[in-house]
């Protein structure tokens, strides 16, 4: 047996056969996913030790496994820090998956839920709720989800022509609707009263503050249920990247696959936005970072999810590390972490 | 990134033989709205007085002062800034072959924004004429950084440029946002006004340097039009046709930084025009850059001037800033065009 089977240096496909069954796999991809998984776990546990009250790593592990002595620290971990960390993980994962799908559907490296107007629409919903109506957290989250989903539906319907939504027409329609809505957003922020405008501005920066289990469950259930379904459809979506005609000839129901993947991706983005507000750049950066690490442009949902989770967690840890008293919203920190990481990877690699 | 092959042939709104006619018609329309912009404002001045102000200026007359020192420079600024963004957008999209690429993707807007905030927060500069130069400096540095980060000198790859530019923009904007949150209220107040994009209150000390820079940028852009046609065929074919991609990328980036940088520095970030005017021009005039650049210039200029006028009329007695108005007028029109006509893909 050759040593390259153990030490993957480039992302060559390998096939594992057993009788008539065979599975193709890429060693580098598996390695990347495995390392990301370890890093997410490590960051998650480490993030739970950070906070006003000092809690050691061991106590965190004990509390999660349910073997530690019950007390204030255990309650803090289980009721405050664990929900926050889980929100970070699943929000990141949902956005990572969503971004990967939209980059594939739009055949564009800049693809993200914004392609279909979701992010802008969600902001419109939230700002309208804050500026025009009342400001309860639940109402704002719901308004954001409704705004985003309605916008996505409108963009999709406008882009459909004789039953087909071309990737190109989808992008352009999304640009048009997105810019109208973002103008409306600015208008509401400028013309609304100052207090509401400041509230809305805070919501726009995203937040992981005071997240409870109520924030965790929807996005957690969404990711756990949808990811397996989407991974089944992934192969078909990857084929569609070659062109609608080609995929149709290969026996793929192009429109049906594309519509269901867009639908799932929007649902995930909606859950993520409801849980933490708009978190910038994860959807765009996570799939790109993964494809650079794997040295392959192939669509990857699982690793993109892990990368998204890792970026949000890392941003959260970094905020708590900051030595000076400055307020840094999580939505901005994810932009800085993801952006610098992507630039660094780009300057290092020559490919792509 | 490659557009999918669609089976139906591309057709444009106007026939090739009529392009020249429509270009002239567009110029006439632009001239009309430009005149309109000089006559309409929040303060009523009769048409006769306006004409008088232009042809026999009397410095003692306050209405004359208003027309000559506010309305005329403002209108001309809308004209050049709109046109600059439209042309920068054409170059950016032709170069990256990406329909989502606007001039801001080279980091120009974000670099200008951060430099402006730094100038306001730490140096305490308030005068627009000075703020502008910081904006320009920031735009140039960011553009150069994207060029280096994307490794253009090691071989041109549009996807890398687009990603490096987006990543740098996000980082710079995040720092800008954090600076405005954590510094004095007045800094945020000033930045907020700059960041919506407006022509209000800009006078000749902004107009003249901006117009001069933009003229240089436009000259470079027109010289590039043929080279851009070969680039949009793909790097391989371009090279086979004897084009030096590094040279084209360098001059294109230079043109974009000058055009978008000067526009952003003068009027603040206005995103819609640079992104959509090229698409509209492509629907109207087809993919040939020789026509695309002038059409995009005309469309973007007209859109900017019309939006500026309507912002004054609709928002009366206040104003709705041009950045908002452009998207509100242009957005529905753009969606309609996309739905109605087939666009020749990049």
Cα-flanking dihedrals φ and ψ of residue B118, to 5°?
-60, -45
Question: Tokens at residue A278, please?
Answer: 């708009």
The answer, yes or no, to whether residue A30 has pLDDT greater than 80, is: yes
Residue with tokens 């020249």: B20
Residues 6 or more apart whose CB falls under 8 angstroms from that of A319 comprise: A328, A330, A333
- The confidence score (pLDDT) of residue B220 equals 93
Which of the four pLDDT bands, split at 50, 70 and 90, describes residue B9? very low
CA distance B223 to A323: 52
Q: Cα–Cα distances in Å, from B338 out to B19, B175, B304? A: 20, 36, 20
User: What confidence tens digit (pLDDT) does each residue in A231-242 have?
Assistant: 888 888 888 888
- The confidence score (pLDDT) of residue A328 equals 78
- The confidence score (pLDDT) of residue A91 equals 94
Determine whether B181 is exposed, middle or buried from the number of CB atoms within 10 Å of its CB (0-12, 13-18, 19+).
middle
Residues 6 or more apart whose CB falls under 8 angstroms from that of A85 comprise: A44, A47, A48, A313, A316
Mean pLDDT over all residues of chain B?
81
Distance from CA of A155 to the nearest CA of B (A): 9
Q: pLDDT higher for B218 or A108?
A: B218
- Its ipTM equals 0.78
User: What confidence tens digit (pLDDT) does each residue in B11-68 have?
Assistant: 556 677 778 888 888 899 988 888 888 887 777 777 777 777 777 777 788 778 777 7
| B340 inside 8 A of chain A by CB | no
The answer, yes or no, to whether residue A163 has pLDDT greater than 70, is: no
User: What confidence tens digit (pLDDT) does each residue in A115-140 have?
Assistant: 788 888 998 998 888 888 877 778 88
| A183 inside 8 A of chain B by CB | yes
Neighbour tally for B154: CB within 10 Å = 11
Q: Is there a contact between B145 and B84 (Cβ–Cβ < 8 Å)?
A: no
Distance of CA B231 to the CA centre of its chain: 22
| B99 inside 8 A of chain A by CB | yes
| B175 inside 8 A of chain A by CB | yes
First to last CA, chain B: 9
Distance from CA of B332 to the nearest CA of A (A): 7
Residues of chain A with C-beta less than 8 angstroms from the C-beta of B98: 108-110
Residues of chain A with C-beta less than 8 angstroms from the C-beta of B171: 335-336, 339-340, 343
User: What confidence tens digit (pLDDT) does each residue in A55-76 have?
Assistant: 777 777 877 777 767 677 778 8
Which helix (H) or strand (E) covers residue A305, if one does?
A: helix A301-321
CA distance A175 to A148: 14
Question: Tokens at residue B114, please?
Answer: 């951060």
Neighbour tally for A324: CB within 10 Å = 6
């Amino acid at each position: 047996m050759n040593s390259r089977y153990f030490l993957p240096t480039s992302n060559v496909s390998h096939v594992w056969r057993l009788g008539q069954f065979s599975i193709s796999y890429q060693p580098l991809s598996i390695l990347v996913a495995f390392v990301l998984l370890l890093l997410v776990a490590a960051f998650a546990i480490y993030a739970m030790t950070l906070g006003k009250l000092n809690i050691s790593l061991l106590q965190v592990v004990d509390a999660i496994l349910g073997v530690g002595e019950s007390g204030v620290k255990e309650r803090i971990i289980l009721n405050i820090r664990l929900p926050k960390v889980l929100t970070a993980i699943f929000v990141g994962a949902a956005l990572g998956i969503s971004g990967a799908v939209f980059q594939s559907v739009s055949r564009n490296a800049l693809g993200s839920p914004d392609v279909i107007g979701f992010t802008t629409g969600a902001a419109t919903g939230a700002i309208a709720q804050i500026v025009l109506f009342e400001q309860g957290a639940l109402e704002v989250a719901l308004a954001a989800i409704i705004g985003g989903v309605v916008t996505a539906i409108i963009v999709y319907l406008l882009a459909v022509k004789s039953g087909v939504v071309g990737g190109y027409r989808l992008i352009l329609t999304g640009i048009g609707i997105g810019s109208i809505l973002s103008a409306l957003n600015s208008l509401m922020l400028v013309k609304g009263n100052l207090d509401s405008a400041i509230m809305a501005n805070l919501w726009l920066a995203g937040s992981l503050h005071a997240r409870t289990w109520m924030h965790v469950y929807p996005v957690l259930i969404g990711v756990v249920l949808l990811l397996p379904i989407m991974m089944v459809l992934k192969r078909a979506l990857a084929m569609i990247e070659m062109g609608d005609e080609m995929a149709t000839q290969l026996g793929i129901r192009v429109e049906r696959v594309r519509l269901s993947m867009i639908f799932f991706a929007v649902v995930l983005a909606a859950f993520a936005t409801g849980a933490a507000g708009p978190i910038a750049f994860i959807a765009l950066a996570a799939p790109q970072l993964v494809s650079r690490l794997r040295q392959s442009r192939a669509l990857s949902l699982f690793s993109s999810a892990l990368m998204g989770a890792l970026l949000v967690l890392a941003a959260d840890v970094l905020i708590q590390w900051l030595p000076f008293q400055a307020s840094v919203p999580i939505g901005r920190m994810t932009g800085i972490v993801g952006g610098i990481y992507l630039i660094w990877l780009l300057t290092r690699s020559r490919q792509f | 990134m490659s557009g999918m092959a669609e089976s139906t042939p591309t057709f444009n709104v106007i026939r090739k033989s009529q392009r020249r006619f429509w270009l002239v018609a567009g110029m006439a329309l632009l001239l009309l709205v430009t005149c309109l912009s000089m006559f309409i404002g929040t303060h009523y001045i009769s048409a006769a007085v306006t004409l008088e102000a232009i042809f026999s200026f009397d410095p003692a007359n306050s209405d004359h002062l208003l027309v000559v020192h506010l309305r005329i420079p403002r209108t001309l600024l809308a004209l050049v800034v709109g046109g600059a963004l439209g042309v920068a957008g054409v170059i950016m999209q032709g170069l990256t072959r990406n329909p989502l690429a606007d001039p801001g993707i080279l980091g120009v807007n974000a670099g200008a924004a951060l430099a402006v905030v730094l100038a306001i927060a730490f140096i305490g500069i308030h005068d627009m004429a000075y703020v502008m130069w910081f904006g320009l400096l920031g735009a140039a540095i960011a553009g150069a950084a994207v060029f280096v980060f994307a490794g253009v000198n090691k071989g041109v790859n549009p996807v890398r440029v687009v990603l490096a530019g987006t990543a740098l923009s996000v980082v710079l904007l995040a720092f800008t946002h954090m600076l405005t949150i954590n510094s004095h209220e007045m800094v945020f107040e000033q930045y907020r006004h700059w960041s919506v994009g407006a022509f209000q209150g800009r006078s000749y000390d902004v107009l003249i340097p901006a117009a001069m820079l933009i003229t240089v940028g436009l000259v470079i852009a027109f010289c590039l039009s043929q080279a851009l046609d070969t680039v949009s065929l793909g790097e391989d074919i371009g090279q086979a046709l004897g084009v030096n991609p590094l040279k084209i990328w360098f001059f294109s980036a230079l043109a974009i930084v000058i055009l978008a940088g000067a526009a952003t520095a003068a009027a603040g970030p206005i995103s819609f025009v640079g992104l959509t005017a090229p698409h509209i021009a492509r629907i109207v005039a087809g993919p040939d850059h020789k026509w695309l650049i002038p059409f995009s210039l005309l469309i973007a200029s007209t859109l900017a001037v019309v939006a500026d006028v309507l912002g004054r009329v609709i928002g009366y007695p206040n104003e709705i800033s041009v950045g908002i108005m452009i998207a509100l007028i242009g957005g529905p029109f753009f969606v309609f065009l996309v739905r109605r006509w087939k666009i020749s893909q990049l």
